[in-house]
Structure 1
């Protein structure tokens, strides 16, 4: 697990490494979370991106989902267990996609 508090650095990390799950805030300096989401998906469409924000609007929620966010978490968080459940769901989704791809390739 790696963390950073700079969206530009986060994008460089995404470009140079394989991340299965990216958790990003929507409001950040230099680049917002929607732009980071789009960039992450352009490098690897299977990357699970979980958006989080304390400043939600319906427009931002819809944009996040339209651009491929796996989930959307409102701050303050309900509990750490809630966050772990969302991450576990993302892992399960990746595993299902991998199995589907393996099944297609094996045919």
Structure 2
């Protein structure tokens, strides 16, 4: 995630919904911003990185699904949760198909919103940590740390790279003092 306090953008054409989401999520310590429509949201997304966007499905300018598509196209690392008062199975399936993390129907309880946001941000944190750990492991155990420029050593490096992805045990043999 981008910061200690995850950044969340709340997009809804109804001011009461935006204020309710802010009131519910503020005690959780998130960095919250609001947008009254998709155009406003896209401008804010151009200026700042958000970990999560909570967006209404039905808005006057651009639908929540179209906003979701645009966000996933431009910022695939940003998670999106769709909130709607007009829930159908088709819209829920479409939202998930286009990459939404979750789909919440209005009216929602404060617990439902807090739990959905918490699960989403925890998943994002774990994915980020997983990527970082894989990079650390690769840096620690890559063949770049082994010295050897001869043709024979290059053959050994190639063989090591092939065998490394298997679970096989390898016995290296050779004359004493050759640096096995």
Is the TM-score greater than 0.5? yes
Aligned counterpart, 1:86: 116
Secondary structure class of the residue paired with 2:60: coil
2:134 aligned with 1:101: no
Aligned counterpart, 1:45: 76
2:105 aligned with 1:71: no
> Could you say what the CA RMSD is over the residues aligned between the two structures, in angstroms?
1.0
**Range with bigger deviation, 26-35 or 50-59:** 50-59
1:36-80 Cα shifts (integer Å, max 9, x gaps):
111111222121100010111221111100110001000111x21
Q: Distance in 2 between matches of 1:104 and 1:42?
A: 25
| 38, 44, 47: which one aligns with 1:16 | 47
Secondary structure class of the residue paired with 2:107: coil
Uncovered stretches (5+) of structure 1, i.e. residues with no partner: none
TM normalised by structure 1 equals: 0.93
Q: Which runs of 4+ in 1 moved over 4 A?
A: none
Is the Cα contact below 8 Å between 1:27 and 1:53 reproduced in 2?
yes
For the pair shown, the structure with the greater C-alpha radius of gyration is 2
Uncovered stretches (5+) of structure 2, i.e. residues with no partner: 1-31, 139-180
Once the two structures are TM-superposed, the CA of residue 32 in structure 1 deviates from its matched residue by 0.3
Secondary structure class of the residue paired with 2:35: coil
Secondary structure class of the residue paired with 2:53: strand
| 59, 64, 70: which one aligns with 1:28 | 59
